[in-house]
Structure formats: structure tokens, C-alpha cells
Amino acid sequence: MTATPAPLPSNPPAAPAAAVAPATAPTAAAAPTAAAARTVGLTKVYGSGDTAVRALDHLDLTVGAGSFTAVMGPSGSGKSTLMHCLAGLDTATSGQIWLGDTDLTTLSDKALTILRRERIGFVFQAFNLLPMLTAEQNITLPLRLAGRPVDRDWFTQVTATLGLTDRLPHRPGELSGGQQQRVAMARSLMTRPDVLFADEPTGALDSRSSTEMLTFLRRSSTDFGQTIVMVTHDPNAAAYADRVILLADGRLAGDLADPNVESVLAAMATLGE
């Protein structure tokens, strides 16, 4: 790990237009050692009877360690539900959810809470910063709650890369929306999570802040081996990822390697987006 990562190209390299793969056969046999996260037959049903909603429908997905995956699909297709299940924030109706070698569906509530704290980073669209704490206190809060020491070098590196160095003594109310989002991102990275989940992290940002955020995520994966799963509706944002998966009605409806804006747009068009 270097203190000054090499600059990344502002755009991901162009890749040949990838064909949209049809929903594939189950990938349960994928090598578990290469998977940071994995679902096997993951089904999530909200409610019951006539009002039941099948948000995820027998989903088989493997997220490679160190990879940067974008999740796309129409509103209501199950993207947030998938993130919440993978992050241990919501439970499966049936199927399995693996984080590395741990099956989340077998854990007690207490064990899940500890796993979330120690191995998961989550950036919500609403930043969930505590208004009475400074940016620095917000960023280090999860470590302090876990009784773990703050790695000052890592703190300095993350906050400098996110352009927060001179905003650290300020409370969220004194920060712009983009700065608050970056504080939330820094907070989620302080514990060096196994997987960082980000649900539309650029949704509330202007184009410059959005580009900075995406460049940071790309660099985190390339330079630090950070595994990232990001929900987005934006083909430009998705093109920063190594892979784009598309959901429709809780099922895998497409899987693109080395996406670019054109291939993402083409794949979205097949879903009628």
C-alpha cells in the first residue's frame, strides 16, 4: 500500500461492447476462496398473502475479492434489498448469504451485529452522520464503539484522499452535501471492511463531486484491494466498475465485464430502462 497512489485515468479504459448475458445457471460451485460475498438461491419476500412482494427471487451471485461491482436495474428491482441482505442488515426468506467463509443466515442477531461492525462498510444515500459530532469524530466513531484503536496513518490517508483534511473539526451542519457524503465514505472505510456497500453514493452529488467519489472508489479497489458493491442508476458511474450486474424483478438480468458507457446503455435498453 502506498501513501500516494498513482493517479488513475479519469475514465475507465474502453472495453469491447460486451454482450448481455442471459440469467446464468447457479454459480454455487464458484471457488469460495475468491469470493468476498456470495448468494445461493437468495430469496427475499416482504409481507405475506396477497400483498407479498418477492424482492429477490432465487438469486445466485458471486462478488470477487477486490472487485468493484455496480448493481443496476429498474426502481423496485431489488437492488437495495440485495445490498441490505449482503451486508447483514436484512434477513433472507430462503437461500444463503456468504461473506467470505461465513454464512450470514446461520448467525444470531448478536453475531450479525458484530460482523456488521467489524467486516462491513455501508454508505447509505442518507448519510446518517451524527449532527453533534465533528467530521473527525463521526469518522472514528465505529472504531471507538468497537473499542479498537484508530490507525492514524490510515485515517490521514483516507481523509486526505477524500479532500476532508481541513473540514475535520466541523460538524455536519457546516459541511456541503458532497462533503457530508465523503465523511460517510471515510467513516465506512476506517475499519477496512471486507466489503464496502454503497447505495447510490453519487445520487446527491454534483458532477465534480461525483467524479471525485467514483475516482476514489476506483482507486480503493485498484490500489488497496477494497471490495466494493455500488448501486447506481448512472451509466457513467457504472463504467468505473469492473463489472455491472443488472437486476429485474429480483433476478439476475445481465452481467457485464469491463463495462463502458455504451455497453451499459445497451444492457439497460434490453430491460426497457
Under the criterion CB under 6 A, does residue 77 sit at the interface with ligand ATP?
yes
Q: Where are the beta strands (DSSP E) in the chain?
A: 35-46, 53-64, 68-72, 94-99, 102-103, 120-123, 195-199, 227-231, 243-248, 251-257
Query: What are the distances in angstroms from CA 107 to CA 38, 92, 104, 194?
Result: 16, 12, 5, 17
Under the criterion CB under 6 A, does residue 80 sit at the interface with ligand ATP?
yes
Among 47, 169, 177, 225, binds ligand ATP (CB under 6 A): 47
| Sequence-separated (6 or more) residues with CB below 8 Å from residue 269 | none
Query: Which backbone phi and psi does 199 adopt, to 5 degrees?
Result: -95, 105
Q: Which stretch binds ligand ATP (CB under 6 A): 73-81, 111-119, 178-186, 218-226?
A: 73-81
CB of 69 to ligand ATP, least distance (A): 15
Under the criterion CB under 6 A, does residue 163 sit at the interface with ligand ATP?
no
The single-letter DSSP state of residue 179 is H
- Asked if 195 and 63 touch (Cβ cutoff 8 Å), the reply is yes
Q: Kindly give the interhelix angle for 152-161 and 177-189, rounded to the nearest 10 degrees.
A: 150
Kindly tell me which of 44 and 167 has the beta carbon lying closer to ligand ATP: 44
Under the criterion CB under 6 A, does residue 245 sit at the interface with ligand ATP?
no
Q: Which region holds residue 219: left if phi is over 0, alpha if psi is between -120 and 50, else beta?
A: alpha
Kindly tell me which of 2 and 48 has the beta carbon lying closer to ligand ATP: 48
CB of 20 to ligand ATP, least distance (A): 18
CB of 12 to ligand ATP, least distance (A): 23
Under the criterion CB under 6 A, does residue 81 sit at the interface with ligand ATP?
yes
Among 37, 55, 120, 245, binds ligand ATP (CB under 6 A): 55
Under the criterion CB under 5 A, does residue 80 sit at the interface with Mg ion?
yes
Under the criterion CB under 6 A, does residue 39 sit at the interface with ligand ATP?
no
Q: Rule CB under 6 A: which residues touch ligand ATP?
A: 46-47, 53, 55, 73, 75-81
